[in-house]
Amino acid sequence: MFQRLSTDNFNWILIIGVILFVVEIVFFHGGMIISALFSGFFIYIGWKNFTKLWGKIFFWIGAISLLFSVLNMLAVRFLVVVAIVLFVLNYMKKNQEAEKIPVDLISHQEIIDDPVVEKKPLFDHKMFDDQATDDVAYQWRDVNIHGGFGDRIIDLSNTVLPNDTSVISIRHFIGNIEIFIPYEVEVSIHHSSIFGRVHIFGKHHTQLMNQSLYYQTSNYDTTNLPRVKIITSVVSGDIEVKRI
């Protein structure tokens, strides 16, 4: 459905959604946004204490409240209407294309594609729950994930990195990030955060407020040994990168 949508049209939909979002904040005193943020706080507290009865109650109250708050936002209502319209138009267009008889067959063309192999990512995207690499040896694959709530822990001492640049990219909402690096590996770190603390190889920032930091080890640009490029961004959370 969305594959048929041009980039310009998609951008216009996003712009209108953002405008409605701002209108709700400015003219409706925050509208359902304040309620959604409050519900998100309930979900986070409940998830952190989910083993307790009151934690479960907090979590489900927050989840139900968040669902109703999001569905009542002007921007979300607009996007739902757009999705329904696109679905109907896409269905009608598919029916019209099904009635057409193709003139040329692809089999008559010589198409040579590069062979590709699909591999399972090291992590899946998770909105809730902690994620960590295995405590036993595992095969390395570059990390590119986003998440909602929970901690992310990556231990590179249980894998073998290639003699090339490995990439760890994490975009997160609320939670801490811990990355353990072997001593023989060079590192580049680009971290941004709305609120949180940073501990990177002895460098400490106890209060990061809407800032970005960039560090790299001295031999990162010249080494032929394995090296890791780390790109992280969190709304609220701490990051710790240390040797192991």
Residue whose token pair is 């709305």:
194
Type and span of the H or E element at 139: none
Mean pLDDT of 131-142: 88
Asked if 211 and 234 count as a contact pair (C-beta separation under 8 A), the reply is no
* pLDDT tens per residue across span 153-194: 999 988 888 888 899 999 988 888 999 999 989 999 999 998
Q: Give the pLDDT band of residue 107 (cuts 50, 70, 90).
A: low
* pLDDT tens per residue across span 29-70: 666 777 788 888 888 888 888 888 888 888 888 888 888 887
Q: Which string of b and e fits 150-183 if b means at least 16 CB within 10 Å?
A: bbbebbbebbebeeeebebebebbbbbbbbbbee
Residue, of 212 and 34, whose pLDDT is higher: 212
For residue 29, what are its two tokens?
A: 């005193």
Mean pLDDT of 186-204: 90
Using a cut of 0.75, tell me whether the model's pTM lies above it.
no
Whether 199 shows a pLDDT value over 80: the answer reads yes
Q: Integer distance in angstroms from the first to the last C-alpha of the chain? A: 47
Contacts 24+ apart (CB under 8 A), 73-78: 73/20, 73/21, 73/24, 73/31, 73/32, 73/33, 73/36, 74/20, 74/21, 74/23, 74/24, 74/31, 75/17, 75/18, 75/20, 75/21, 75/24, 78/16, 78/17, 78/20
Alpha helices, H only, the chain: 7-27, 33-48, 53-71, 74-98
Mean pLDDT of 5-15: 66
Whether 149 shows a pLDDT value over 70: the answer reads yes
pLDDT of residue 31: 62
pLDDT of residue 88: 78
Whether 230 shows a pLDDT value over 90: the answer reads yes
pLDDT of residue 202: 85
Domain residue ranges of the chain, discontinuous segments joined by +:
2-98, 131-243
Residue, of 157 and 23, whose pLDDT is higher: 157
Alpha carbon distance 156, 180 (integer Å): 6
- Sequence-separated (6 or more) residues with CB below 8 Å from residue 192: 211, 212, 213, 232, 233, 234
Residue, of 124 and 89, whose pLDDT is higher: 124
Asked if 166 and 226 count as a contact pair (C-beta separation under 8 A), the reply is yes
Residue whose token pair is 């949180």:
196
